[in-house]
Chains A and B, each alone.
Chain A
Amino acid sequence: MTPSFYLAPLRFSFLTVACLCLASCSDSPQTYYGAVIDTDGALDGPAIRMELKEQGRAQVRMEGEIAATCPKKGCWMDVVSGQDTVFVRFQDYGFFVPTEGAEGKRTIVEGEAFYDTLTVPMLKHYAEDAGESQAFIDAIEAPELRLAFTATGVMIED
């Protein structure tokens, strides 16, 4: 009786366990805001621009990294997706995201993408929300056309 011969299957099984556990446990916890959404088939900024060429608005899922959230109420967030920084607001002001700690996290948002003209008062308000300096706020003099998004649901990966 050679113990190592009998232990070989066990060694294999422990390796299998380790590999499977690493693979299965690597999923990061996800928190949903507004609604639990399906996260499959999310597009990035350039793909959304292509969709918007066909029609002015598009119902899509978008994936990106959170650059900032509204530090006062959590009523908007800037999401970097491809080359775009998309301004995301939440449908009907009906839900909010964390005011802090979300920067750099991966997100998927579901809802409507469109081009939006942000007026000067709106830009000043959002700049004030974001804690920009008075000089920065005063320097805003022209409206801005941005890729925007009204989300019905948001997933943030912790």
Chain B
Amino acid sequence: MRRSLKILGVLLPVVAIVAGCGNAWSPSPTLAPNQPNGSSPLASAMVAMDAQLLQTLEAVMADPNHSWEGRRLMSQDFLALAPTTASMINAHFEAQAPLYHLAIEQFNALPTAAHYNEVVASCTQCHLGTCPGPLDRIAKREMREDGA
């Protein structure tokens, strides 16, 4: 009987640790979603716009002739969409949003690298006076002369 108790004495800690604390010993890390706080309609539209710019840029770069012919950008009415917080809508935003639409119309009428960069510049100009957070990201959407 003493032998059985000894074996039990060895097994119990192992069982208890594996059953009760196994997660702490082999933790599976929790990776949160990129935006854990939810996204407003305005923020989601801007994320979609960013994805569209990246897609266009990559398509042009992948084209052997780096051709802009036939490229189009969808425009979103940023002024009609609800922002993350009301303070994000200021006079600067209201003045810049129509310029962004004009830049897209200009690009769609004549898709060129210069007109594409004007769309990107309109994003930069707007964010300089509203939320500077994504400026570095926007800068990476520019089509540079060296093709980078």
Contacts and interface: CB of A to CB of B under 8 A. Distances in A.
A103 to B, nearest CB: 15
B75 interface: no
A72 B17 contact: no
Interface in B57-114: 84-85, 87-88
Contact of A98 (B5, B9, B25, B36): B36
Chain B interface: which size bin? Answer: 35 or more
Interface in A1-54: 1, 5-7, 9-10, 12-14, 16-17, 20-21, 24-27, 29-36
Contacts of A14: 12
B12 A122 contact: no
A76 interface: yes
Contacts of B36: 33, 74, 96-98
A20 B13 CA distance: 8
Most B-side CB within 10 Å, residue of A26, A75, A89, A121: A75
A13 B24 contact: no
B16 A17 contact: yes
Contact of B34 (A5, A17, A96, A99): A96
Chain A interface: which size bin? Answer: 35 or more
A92 B136 contact: yes
B147 interface: no
A99 B37 contact: yes
Per DSSP, chain A at the interface is mixed
A121 to B, nearest CB: 7
B51 interface: no
A1 B84 CA distance: 75
A1 B85 CA distance: 76
Nearest to A155: B29
A11 B6 CA distance: 11
A98 B17 contact: no
B9 A32 contact: no
A92 to B, nearest CB: 4
Contacts of B6: 9
B132 interface: yes
Most A-side CB within 10 Å, residue of B37, B128, B140: B37
A20 B2 contact: no
A125 interface: yes
A12 B36 CA distance: 46
Interface of A: 1, 5-7, 9-10, 12-14, 16-17, 20-21, 24-27, 29-36, 72-76, 89, 92-99, 121-122, 125, 128
